[in-house]
Amino acid sequence: MVPPAQFDSYYGKPVIKAPVWKSPQIPGYLFLGGLAGASSLIGAGAQVTGRPALARAAKAGAFGAGCVSVAALVHDLGRPARFLNMLRVFKVTSPLSVGSWLLSAYVPAAGAAAFSATTGRMPRIGAAATAGAALLGPGVAAYTAALISDTAVPAWHEGYPELPFVFAGSAATAAGGLGLLAAPADQSDPARYLAIFGIAAELAASSRLKRRIGMVAEPYRSGRGGAYLRAGQVLSVAGAAGSMLARRSRLAGAVSGATLLAASAATRWGIFHAGLDSAADPRYTIVPQRERLRERQREREHPQAQDRR
């Protein structure tokens, strides 16, 4: 057996600072952003394919989730009154800046779409807003992955190639779940398919992630993060199976929809906590960096051995 990684640290204290972001605000923000963004896609698709109840539910859900997600973010700011400072500048180097701008375009669009869909007024503006929200939706669902990856938190940063897919998948799961929950059985097919697609994407991406990043993936398996993620997987599978029955039963649709929503939320909570855990333990910062240095050293010493791996 490989001996446990030996490493030095300063009294076991973390090297980096864990995010000060709080739960439920921030995992909630991640979850709701995904739910909103993907729901806007359902809203638009449902409108185009003539599923008004699904469209209504999705648009209203998107707007609601968008609003609560912003509220969660604002609430987490030490000084909520200063949310407007987010819009002082636009910085591509800051996913939070990009996201803030994205949200500030997206939420009004989602709002107009929802308003039109639920009241039936201003259909032309509603259609445009629906299109706009659907256009921005995937971005809203995926940028949060960029947001957390763009940190020094090992479990997040190391996972940046897969996390957006996990997030997008999870967003699809959530939006699908909402569709199942809120729409009549005869309109819920796309929601079901989207949810299944989402689950598949999420599972594929996250298993690749865990394989690729080695020991840094431990927090995704253990601790609070691991527990949430395992719950998410169980709920996903259960939700997916349940959704198959939803065609026949409104109740089954509702239960499986709720299960899928919970699955997506659990995934976000899991990723959030795995990140915090990976930041709190200096091992996850030091060991990979040490390894990286050793690798570079080896390359310097034996340039030809480079592709041995």
Partner 1 sequence: MSDPEATASSGQAEQQPRLGFFTDTSVCIGCKACEVACKEWNHVPEDGLLLTGMSYDNSVGLGADTWRHVAFIEQRRPARTVLAENGPAGTGDGGEFRWLMSSDVCKHCTHAACLDVCPTGALFRTEFGTVVVQEDVCNGCGYCIPACPYGVIDQRKDDGRAWKCTMCYDRLGAGLEPACAKACPTESIQFGPLDELRERAAGRLADLHEAGVSDARLYGADPGDGVGGDGAFFLLLDEPEVYGLPPDPVVTTRDLPSIWRHAAAAAAMLAAGAAAAFAASGRRR
Binding residues for partner 1 restricted to 77-136, rule: CB under 8 A: 77-79, 82-83, 85-86, 88-89, 91-97, 100
Amino acid of residue 15: V
Contacts made by residues 211-218, CB under 8 angstroms, sequence distance 24+: 212/161, 212/162, 213/155, 213/158, 213/159, 214/288, 215/5, 215/283, 215/284, 215/287, 215/288, 216/154, 216/155, 216/158, 216/159, 216/278, 216/284, 216/288, 217/155, 217/159, 218/278, 218/284
Near partner 1 in 261-280, by CB under 8 A: 275, 279
Residue 19 engages partner 1 in binding (rule: CB under 8 A): yes
Q: Which residues contact 180 (CB under 8 A, 6 or more apart)?
A: 188, 191, 192, 195, 243, 246, 253, 254, 256, 257, 260
Q: Which of 15, 127, 203, 227 lies at the binding interface for partner 1 (CB under 8 A)?
A: 15
At 225 the three-state DSSP class reads helix
Closer by beta carbon to partner 1, 46 or else 178: 46
Residue number with CB closer to partner 1 (125 or 150): 150
Least distance in angstroms from the C-beta of 119 to partner 1: 22
Piece of the chain touching partner 1 by CB under 8 A; list 36-44, 105-113, 124-132, 230-238: 36-44
Nearer to partner 1 among residue 116 and residue 144 (C-beta): 144
Q: How far is the CB of 103 from partner 1 (least distance, A)?
A: 11
Q: How far apart are CA 52 and CA 5, in angstroms?
A: 57
- Would you say 9 or 23 has its CB closer to partner 1? 9
Which one, 163 or 266, has the nearer CB to partner 1? 163
290 binds partner 1 (CB under 8 A): yes
Please report the DSSP string for 223-261 in residue order: HHHHHHHHHHHHHHHHHHHHHHHTTT-HHHHHHHHHHHH
| Residue 228 vs residues 23, 31, 37: alpha-carbon distances, Å | 13, 13, 22
122 vs 190 by CB, closer to partner 1? 190
Q: Identity (one letter) of the amino acid at 42?
A: I
Contacting partner 1 within 163-222 (CB under 8 A): 163-165, 167-169, 171-172, 176, 186-187, 189-194, 197-198, 201
Segment 39-58, which members bind partner 1 (CB under 8 A)?
41-42, 45-46, 48-51
160 in contact with partner 1 (CB under 8 A): yes
Among 36, 38, 255, 271, binds partner 1 (CB under 8 A): 38
